[in-house]
Structure 1
Amino acid sequence: MANRERSERILTDWNRVFDALADPSRRYVLEYLHDRSDPVPVWDLAIALAVRTTDRAPNQIDIQVVEQAEAGIVHVHIPKLEAANLVESNGGELSLTDHAQTLPLFTPAYRGIVPPAASEEFDDWEP
């Protein structure tokens, strides 16, 4: 009976991972976090996601678009990513979990799934 329970738990864990990876915005969040060594404030992530989805420079994005991105991150994306044990939230900052680092999400073969995160240097940004 213990083997069956363990198998069901593993399957449930993988289902959560696949559910989390099903959305391109969540894959982008993982890629963005992976490319940074320090935890990322949710607001910075919201700006990056707004830049990605609107294809505009940060100074050209309406604040409401960033606020909508932030609401989606906080209320939809973080809970799914946390349920899959892929990110951890601490005081409004996000980082990848050790579990996320062990998955083959960030190998060269998988890097093309999500375009690289936008550069931190937004002043030189061009569409």
Structure 2
Amino acid sequence: MANRERGDRILTDWNRVFDALADPSRRYVLEYLHDRTQPVPVWELAIALAVRTTDRPANQVDIQIVEQAETGIVHVHLPKLEAANLVESNGETITLTDHAETLPLFTPAYRGIVRPAASEEEDWES
């Protein structure tokens, strides 16, 4: 019986990870955090996400777009990423957890999970 409970817990944990990875914005958050050595302020992450979604330089992104990105990060993306134990937040900064670093999300063989190759991304959009 104990093995079944452990198995159910592991499956629940993986379901949370897959749920977190299902959204391109959350995958981008993970990629952005992975490429940094220090915790990232929520506002900086919101700017980066706004730049990515609008395809404009940071100084040309409307402040309302950045504020919408910040709201999405705080109220949608962070809760899912935290539930999957992929990020930690103190309310002002965000960082990857040790658990996220141990998953094969950032290894060369699995890099496509978080950062798909351009040709693969185009295939998905077709």
For normalisation by structure 2, the TM-score amounts to 0.88
2:37 and 2:54 mapped to 1: Cα distance?
26
Deviant stretches of 4+, over 6 Å: none
- Per the alignment, residue 34 of structure 2 pairs with 34
- Per the alignment, residue 88 of structure 2 pairs with 88
- Per the alignment, residue 123 of structure 1 pairs with none
1:69 and 1:82 mapped to 2: Cα distance?
17
Residue pairs, 1:1-127, within 5 angstroms: 1-112=1-112, 113-114=114-115
Give 3-state SS (helix, strand or coil) of 2:106's partner: coil
Question: Structure 1 residue 101: deviation in Å?
Answer: 0.2
* Backbone CA RMSD of aligned residues: 1.4
1:93 and 1:109 mapped to 2: Cα distance?
29
Report 1 or 2 for greater relative contact order, CA contacts < 8 Å, sequence distance ≥ 6: 1
1:69 and 1:115 mapped to 2: Cα distance?
22
Question: Structure 1 residue 90: deviation in Å?
Answer: 1.6
Q: Does the 8 Å contact 1:24/1:114 carry over to 2? A: no
- Per the alignment, residue 121 of structure 2 pairs with none
1:75 alignment partner AA: H
Structure (1/2) with the larger helix percentage: 2
User: How many pairs are equivalent?
Assistant: 116
Give 3-state SS (helix, strand or coil) of 2:108's partner: coil
Give 3-state SS (helix, strand or coil) of 1:114's partner: coil
For normalisation by structure 1, the TM-score amounts to 0.88
1:108 and 1:53 mapped to 2: Cα distance?
25
Question: Structure 1 residue 91: deviation in Å?
Answer: 3.8
Q: Deviations over 1:74-98 (max 9, x none)?
A: 0000000000000000241000000
Q: Deviations over 1:10-62 (max 9, x none)?
A: 00000000000000000000000000000000000000000000000011110
Classify 1:91/1:72 alpha carbon distance in 2 versus 1 (closer, same or farther; 3 Å): closer
